[in-house]
Amino acid sequence: MVEPSLLSVGTGDAARPIAVARREGATPGIFWLGGFRSDMNGSKALALDALGAEQGLAVTRFDYSGHGASGGDFNEGTISRWLEEAQSVFATTTGPQIIVGSSMGGWLALLLVRAMLAQGDHRVAGLVLIAPAVDMTQDLMLAQFTPAEHDALSNQGYVEQPSDYSPEPYRLTHGLIEDGEQHLLFGAVIETGCPVHILQGGQDTDVPQAHAIKLVTHLLHDPVTLTLIPDGDHRLSRPEDLERLRAAVLALVKDAKAS
């Protein structure tokens, strides 16, 4: 097991310690972006770390602020804040990288590669997006709120929803929803500059398969593979799902080494 170190992100009152686990190895490295309320010790993240150990590849995992072993308050979390952390951790890597983003991490992966391309950085050699929750604050949260939840968001500044993954309800803050508006990707062509492989479960109730298909229609200039898993759920953490994840990553690694 790789022991995490701490990376300080932000300044002043906004500074927070981010826990980062780095496995040394060859490139292209594997860079993990987890989902909302998940951490870097989930089954998919650990499967990627094991893949890196097996193949001799570098692997970088981290926890967003308010998640896992990182500091910071979860209720202060926004897409801007977590994207800043992803950029800071990515800056500690060297050479080409395969970014693997799960759920919210899929959205952050697309935002991260967009920011890098804008800076002239072409180190992202491929993207694997697992049930990518692109524009989730708008399409998968706000647009699905009941009238009572809209009232709660306006009057108390947050909405609490039960979760299938935690005994505690998920708190969705006004700050998270409002900040997400400046990062919306749908409605314009999404440029990645690299191959993209999307893994999507047909039984996913959190990010419906129609959402993944919608994403494909926005990826017009890059090679895209969409794997629909009819009996797959949102987590895609069964042994057969993890094997699909391994295969998708290894295919992109092979392409990167050949280019």
Residue 174 within a domain: no
Residue pair 52/76 in contact by the 8 Å Cβ criterion = no
pLDDT tens column, 61-91 = 999 999 999 999 999 999 999 999 999 999 9
Domain count, the chain: 1
> pLDDT (tens digit, 9 = 90+) per residue, 90-107?
999 999 999 999 999 999
pLDDT one-digit tens code per residue, 32-63: 999 999 999 999 999 999 999 999 999 999 99
Catalytic residues, which ones?
A: 103, 204, 234
Range of the domain at 214: 5-134+188-258
Look at residue 76 in the predicted model and tell me its pLDDT.
Answer: 95
| Distance in angstroms (rounded) separating the CA atoms of residues 61 and 45 | 7
For residue 27, tell me if it sits in a domain: yes
Compute the average pLDDT of residues 232-239.
97
Residue 150: the pLDDT is 96
For position 2, what pLDDT does the model report?
85
Q: What are 151-199's pLDDT values in tens digits?
A: 999 999 999 998 877 788 889 999 999 999 999 999 999 999 999 999 9
Write phi, then psi, for 104 (nearest 5 degrees). -55, -35
For β-strands 26-33 and 57-62, DSSP reports them as: parallel
- Cα(236)–Cα(106) distance, rounded to whole angstroms? 14
Does 175 reside within a domain? no
Q: Report the pLDDT value the prediction gives residue 162, as an integer from 0 to 100.
A: 86
Structure tokens at 137: 């604050």
As a whole number of angstroms, the distance between CA 27 and CA 239 comes to: 26
- Residue 153 in any domain: the answer is no
| Calpha distance 228→131 (Å, rounded) | 10
What pLDDT is recorded for position 170?
A: 87
| CATH number of the domain encompassing residue 106 | 3.40.50.1820
Q: Look at residue 13 and tell me if it is in a domain.
A: yes
pTM of the entire structure?
A: 0.97
Note whether residue 39 is domain-resident: yes
Q: What is the pLDDT of residues 201-215, one digit of tens each?
A: 999 999 999 999 999
